[in-house]
Structure 1
Amino acid sequence: MKNLFSFSVLCAILLSFVGCKDTTNKPEKSDTSNSITSNGVAVKQNPLNDVYWGDTHLHTNLSMDAGAFGNRIGMDEAYRFARGEEVMASSGQKAKLSRPLDFLVVADHTDGMGLFSAIQDNVEWLMKTPEGPRWKKLYDAGKTGELALDIIQNFSQDNFSFSTNDPEIMTPLWSKVVDAGEKYNEPGKFTALLGYEWTSLMKGNNLHRVVVYRDNGDKVRDFLPYTAGDSTDPEDLWKYMAKYEAEKGGNVLAIAHNGNLSNGMMFAETTISGEPLSASYAKERILREPLYEITQIKGDGEAHPFLSPNDEFADYENWDKGNLDLSEPKTNEMLQYEYGRSALKLGLKHQRNLGVNPFKFGFIGSTDSHTSLATADENNFFGKASNVEPNAERAEHDFVTSVVPEKFASKDNSIIKAYETVASGYAAVWAKSNTREDIYDAMVKKETYATTGSRIKLRFFGGWDFSDADMNDNYVQAGYDKGVAMGGDLGNASSKAPSFMVHSMMDPESGSLDRIQVVKGWVNADGSMGEKVYDVTWSGDRKVDANGKVPSVGNSVNLENATWDNSIGSAELSTVWTDPDFNAAQESFYYVRVIEIPTPRWTLYDKVKYGAEFSDKAKLTSTERAYSSPIWYTPK
């Protein structure tokens, strides 16, 4: 990909890499005398934290749906690819990241783990089931797409005739997962966090969680993963996590899948059993689930225009047709229980009523790729599954088709096309070192943020006494000394309005920065909820218009050759912002959203590379973005 830089932007980026003292890359005062011993290796720590990039949600050929959709490569290739090595994709194409990741969670589905290999190998136990011979026949006939849909639709509707959690099948497979993680984990260089995906589906409504361990294989190996075959109720998963911690003395957390395919169940007002949320439920949920996956291949989950009609950036890669298998259509009433911003507001309401906030989570992004390839790069997007790896026809492929199209208002709503999938996202973690322990601990602290694929650098601090003078060469030290980082709480509640320091730098391989926004949500005295998006700093000399909006930054994307011009936008944006509407009596939260200038979407790269022709409904450009974890304020 070739993109065009202005001289000033290019200079700023070069300065940021060579470490020259200028305003584009404020040096972060660091004392590296601290260290940690991880898996027997001594690793230096930075008390002020460094940012590490990763993917906490990647599937290999061990996942039954990944295998059914054509994935023929496994954990070795997944780890090697994430570490920056070139591998051969299932489609026979060479695949390599332009920059390696720092950490990875291979999160294969526990239900049906290894099922596809059992179909391939004609394993006896499977061939004795009603499904086995049918699946083998489809496989032998080369009808792997039909096979995949058969498996997924029957699993999502709980129609399997066999158990998906047989210990005899699971034990050797889980041991292989642990072995691979131990093999590729290199403290200080690359972190392989052990984990899996618990695949709860309630009649097609997606309640999946990725489970992540802090621990090494010696604790994890003989504690088998939890499955939906054990239970589809998250409360049972949390009990199993507590059992692990009690029996093994380890640490484990869960990350909820973005809720846009849950049809209103992810952040519902009741439990799975239909009971109203209680204080004990709220306490256990936020203890076990400190993070939320706000963006991934199957849509962005920050906001929705129906819920946020005054937010011109809310209509970003929304998936709002139905649930996971399109067995039920979406209604507007479901949306508030599916999106991250709305959930944060609901959490404040529960805090007021229960004394505990069940949705006090931080943000990360991840891919949910089923190709074994952890890439969220627009110009290197290998698709959701191996049957839609790069080729001229993939964008028009039917990604999901409803088995009950008559329930939907239109044919378009009963089909999700591959061009609707999103090259998203990555997890950014501010941690003291690149080790299992420090990355996990940063996740628990929620000093994390999500991006939709570009590697925007973002820091966010809140406090009561920040001034413009604090945004200096040692602003990070000032942020920790005088306030709290993203994921924290504004303590010592005051009638004085809080102030926030925010600093962001562009990804040198992506678009420059359009603007930084602070998103605020609150609960009014009558229990109603409110929100507002503030433009706090932006590129160029644009002025706020009569509607209180900052005008568009423009669009420099060349649709003929998939390039863009970074002469618009800024390499770096920073500011100290004070809430002009602060009400000391209101529970509230604040998080940062950074918006890039428009750049080519993966569909445009396909169009140029292959001469592909597809529907004019396919978006060709994208405004990549980053979402910080919130900072919360609670009145005295």
Structure 2
Amino acid sequence: MKAKRNSSYLSKSALWALPVAAILYPSISVSQIVTTEESAASAFPAEAYSPYANRSIPIRPLWGETHLHTSLSLDAGAFGNILGPDTAWDFAKGKKVTSSSGLPVKLSRPLDWMVLTDHTDLMGFAPDLQAGAPGVLADPKGREWHEGYKKGGEAAGKSAFDLITNFAQMTLPESLLKAYSPGSDEFAFVWEEIVEAAERANDPGVFTAFIGFEWTSVPKGFNLHRNVMLRDGASRALQVVPPVTQPPYGSTDPLELYKWLEAYQEKTGGRAVAFSHNGNLSNGWMFPTKDTYHGGVVDEDYVRQRAKWEPHYEVTQIKGDGEAHPFLSPEDSFADYENWDKGNLDLTQLKTDEMLKGEYAREALKQGLALEEEFGINPYKFGFGGATDSHTSLATAEEDNFFGKSVSVEPSPTRIEHPFIASDLGRVEGYELVASGYTAVWAEDNTRKAIFDAFKRRETYATTGTRIGLRFFGGWSFTDEDLRSRALAEAGYAKGVPMGSDMRPRTEEAVPSFLIFALRDPIGANLDRIQVVKGWMDAEGALQEKVYNVAWSGDREADADGNVGEVGNTVDLEKASWTNTIGSSELMTVWVDPDFDAAERAFYYVRVLEIPTPRWVVYDKVRFGIELPEEAQLIHQERAYSSPIWYTPQK
């Protein structure tokens, strides 16, 4: 395992001498390494023989999902989803269920927690659409959509997309809008159903079920959705009804969502946060800067409210990966990963290069530094997470177990032929869907309070569906010796801060050092490399970025610019498999920033890459015996993204 200059690593013999799981998840170990120079007294402090007796740090990542839809959501139901919240919760807990298309399905491993986020607009309409309720059939559009749903297949898909387009363009029939908006009995009944299902599923210490919803702002088809998570139970959640975006019952302006969140906390004494939806279908509106955005301008009130209510960002999901884009990061050879950059949600407006800076996480983090310089508040100081945004009630994010975005593209020999979006301006093909992603949370225990609080402090990381273990700490005095301890995390918390934090005040002439450890998914692929992504604002106010290779597998050497060659490729496209004969099962380093300037605002986050593996379309090819389009991407490198750590110059 190689590491770049200013990096430290253990030899392979030393690595294997240390049980890897114990380094990453210290609670798992049952003994303590004692060198010949150490006494028993120094290794086992007198106040506690057991080194774990007084430990209060997070001990393992809890894996979960922040964005999933059931049959109660308008679009999910229109596409044929018949699975309600109880089935979604059962599936997340690891139970085998039957999909809406009649297929048996089960996760490879249960999740630890989930937020169920059905759309609030037209809440309750989807089940009535499926059933052909009198109120739906009384409206000409309602009858048209119901007839399309009954026909199934392509007709159902066209009907569903027409419904979505009417929603995005705010041309829904007034009678239907009134019947399924706040103030109607149907809206209230469905909200109660959502809340009570989460209460039934919640099992503190075993599985955490969060009450939540998706706020579905999509002006002009520009996707500005937010997912909302409540820390509370039914006694607080049922004191309110969730907000909507369709006028006259709601607004598409995020400031109105923030007002609802404030009112919820004031009325109930509860806690709530919002997560920005992956922004790559927002046509530049997800991360506005000084330019006017719909509904207002980016001023001190906007940055203050967004910083308060949105501590988390959905960086990867089924509709593409939103970490970086090659137009914005031309020097980053791994930025071109599952980018969706064609247009808005319904492809009624195509993308321009100027829009991209308002859509991708890395650019937003950089813009946040500039806004903080101006307003004293960084609205884009968010942690990272991944989600599926599946509308099947099934939180599947693994390549060999991918059930798609909607019922119409659940596994079948023809599903890659169905475009996700098709308009007169272009198409997003079915094979472009992404089997992504999940969120890992470093929480003290598996409860609503502990996980919610971890989100608030941004101690989370995203993956594209793999379950890589990742620790990332920033400080001023990490050394090689910290890698030799079985209690790596203890050193991280004692000498620094975890992912999602601000660096502690700088002492004298210290330079930032980072303690980083990554462990492969136990049933997944080996690791290719660890990279640190740095963004900063220079003395002239220009925003800069650089990607550093800091640890990698094999005997590759970095060139003078720090570039490391490809890890290799063992993928067998005929069998949809690969071998772990390349890469490493774990990588670790202490990295010191060689370009640090104490006067410059900066952020750092970690990106971990696996070795190449097959995409989900290759598994379909082998299972169904189908031919894949030449344009379909067959191989990729799955990855994890840590939440950033920020450095702010001292005044």
**TM-score, normalising length from structure 1?**
0.92
- What secondary structure sits across from 1:259 in the alignment? coil
Tell whether 2:154 aligns with 1:124.
no
Moved more, 134-143 or 236-245: 134-143
Match of 2:148 among 138, 144, 162: 138
Q: How does 1:40-55 map to 2 (within 5 A)?
A: 46-55=56-65
Match of 2:367 in 1: 346
Letter in 2 for 1:509: I
Query: Does the 8 A contact of 1:207 with 1:256 survive in 2?
Result: yes
CA deviations over 1:497-540 (Å, ceiling 9, x no partner): 10000001000221100000000000112211000000000001
Match of 2:443 among 431, 439, 446: 431
- What is the Cα deviation at residue 46 of structure 1? 4.5
CA-atom RMSD in angstroms: 1.8
Q: How does 1:389-538 map to 2 (within 5 A)?
A: 389-402=410-423, 404-405=424-425, 414-471=426-483, 472-494=485-507, 495-538=509-552
Query: Does the 8 A contact of 1:263 with 1:335 survive in 2?
Result: yes
Match of 1:7 in 2: none
Q: How does 1:186-265 map to 2 (within 5 A)?
A: 186-229=203-246, 230-265=250-285
Tell whether 2:320 aligns with 1:306.
no
- What is the Cα deviation at residue 612 of structure 1? 1.2
Q: 1:443 to 1:144 in 2, by over 3 A?
A: same
Match of 1:154 in 2: 166
Aligned mates of 1:583, 1:148 — CA distance in 2: 53
CA deviations over 1:135-187 (Å, ceiling 9, x no partner): 22323444311211111111111111222524322100000001100001000
- What is the Cα deviation at residue 116 of structure 1? 2.0
- Tell me, which stretches of 5 or more residues in structure 1 are unaligned? 1-11, 33-43, 406-413
- What secondary structure sits across from 1:379 in the alignment? helix
- What secondary structure sits across from 1:398 in the alignment? coil
Q: 1:276 to 1:112 in 2, by over 3 A?
A: closer
Match of 2:89 in 1: 79
- What secondary structure sits across from 1:255 in the alignment? strand
Match of 2:646 in 1: 632
CA deviations over 1:591-635 (Å, ceiling 9, x no partner): 000000001110000001111112111111120000000000000
Aligned mates of 2:27, 2:525 — CA distance in 1: 29
Q: 1:274 to 1:219 in 2, by over 3 A?
A: closer
Query: Does the 8 A contact of 1:45 with 1:432 survive in 2?
Result: no
Kindly tell me the number of residue pairs found equivalent between the two proteins: 600
- What is the Cα deviation at residue 29 of structure 1? 4.7
Letter in 1 for 2:90: R
Q: 1:28 to 1:619 in 2, by over 3 A?
A: closer
Query: Does the 8 A contact of 2:145 with 2:160 survive in 1?
Result: no
Match of 1:297 in 2: 318
CA deviations over 1:346-375 (Å, ceiling 9, x no partner): 000001111110000000000000000001
Letter in 2 for 1:193: F
Letter in 2 for 1:485: P
- Identity among equivalent positions (%) equals 52
Match of 1:112 among 106, 122, 135: 122
- What is the Cα deviation at residue 61 of structure 1? 0.6
Letter in 2 for 1:228: T
- What is the Cα deviation at residue 271 of structure 1? 5.5
Query: Does the 8 A contact of 2:58 with 2:445 survive in 1?
Result: no
Letter in 2 for 1:373: L
Query: Does the 8 A contact of 1:46 with 1:433 survive in 2?
Result: no
Tell whether 2:183 aligns with 1:167.
yes
Q: 1:100 to 1:24 in 2, by over 3 A?
A: closer
Aligned mates of 1:137, 1:609 — CA distance in 2: 33
Aligned mates of 1:192, 1:46 — CA distance in 2: 23
Moved more, 466-475 or 625-634: 466-475
CA deviations over 1:303-347 (Å, ceiling 9, x no partner): 000000110000000000001100100000000110000000000
Match of 2:43 in 1: none
Q: 1:27 to 1:625 in 2, by over 3 A?
A: closer
Tell whether 2:602 aligns with 1:609.
no
- What secondary structure sits across from 2:119 in the alignment? coil
Match of 1:375 in 2: 396
Query: Does the 8 A contact of 2:148 with 2:159 survive in 1?
Result: yes
CA deviations over 1:252-295 (Å, ceiling 9, x no partner): 00000011000000001246456442222212101100000000
Match of 1:588 in 2: 602
Aligned mates of 1:400, 1:578 — CA distance in 2: 45
Match of 2:23 in 1: 26
Query: Does the 8 A contact of 2:79 with 2:149 survive in 1?
Result: no
Aligned mates of 1:354, 1:27 — CA distance in 2: 38
CA deviations over 1:396-423 (Å, ceiling 9, x no partner): 2111001x32xxxxxxxx0011100000
Letter in 2 for 1:326: L
Match of 1:337 in 2: 358
Moved more, 165-174 or 593-602: 165-174
Q: 1:222 to 1:186 in 2, by over 3 A?
A: same
Q: How does 1:523-602 map to 2 (within 5 A)?
A: 523-602=537-616
Aligned mates of 1:235, 1:78 — CA distance in 2: 31
Aligned mates of 1:55, 1:192 — CA distance in 2: 10
Query: Does the 8 A contact of 1:457 with 1:505 survive in 2?
Result: yes
- What secondary structure sits across from 1:626 in the alignment? strand
Match of 1:8 in 2: none
Letter in 1 for 2:183: P
**TM-score, normalising length from structure 2?**
0.90
- What is the Cα deviation at residue 473 of structure 1? 1.1
Aligned mates of 1:137, 1:432 — CA distance in 2: 50
Aligned mates of 2:496, 2:373 — CA distance in 1: 24
Aligned mates of 1:625, 1:95 — CA distance in 2: 25
Q: 1:437 to 1:389 in 2, by over 3 A?
A: same
Letter in 1 for 2:388: T
Letter in 1 for 2:464: T
Letter in 1 for 2:278: N
Letter in 1 for 2:552: W
Q: 1:264 to 1:93 in 2, by over 3 A?
A: same
- What is the Cα deviation at residue 485 of structure 1? 0.2
Match of 2:202 in 1: 185
Aligned mates of 1:569, 1:218 — CA distance in 2: 50
CA deviations over 1:545-582 (Å, ceiling 9, x no partner): 35531000000001110110101000000000000000
- What secondary structure sits across from 1:203 in the alignment? helix
Match of 2:408 in 1: 387
Q: 1:45 to 1:224 in 2, by over 3 A?
A: farther
Aligned mates of 1:221, 1:619 — CA distance in 2: 46
Query: Does the 8 A contact of 2:61 with 2:443 survive in 1?
Result: yes
Q: 1:534 to 1:299 in 2, by over 3 A?
A: same
Match of 2:34 in 1: none
- What secondary structure sits across from 2:192 in the alignment? helix
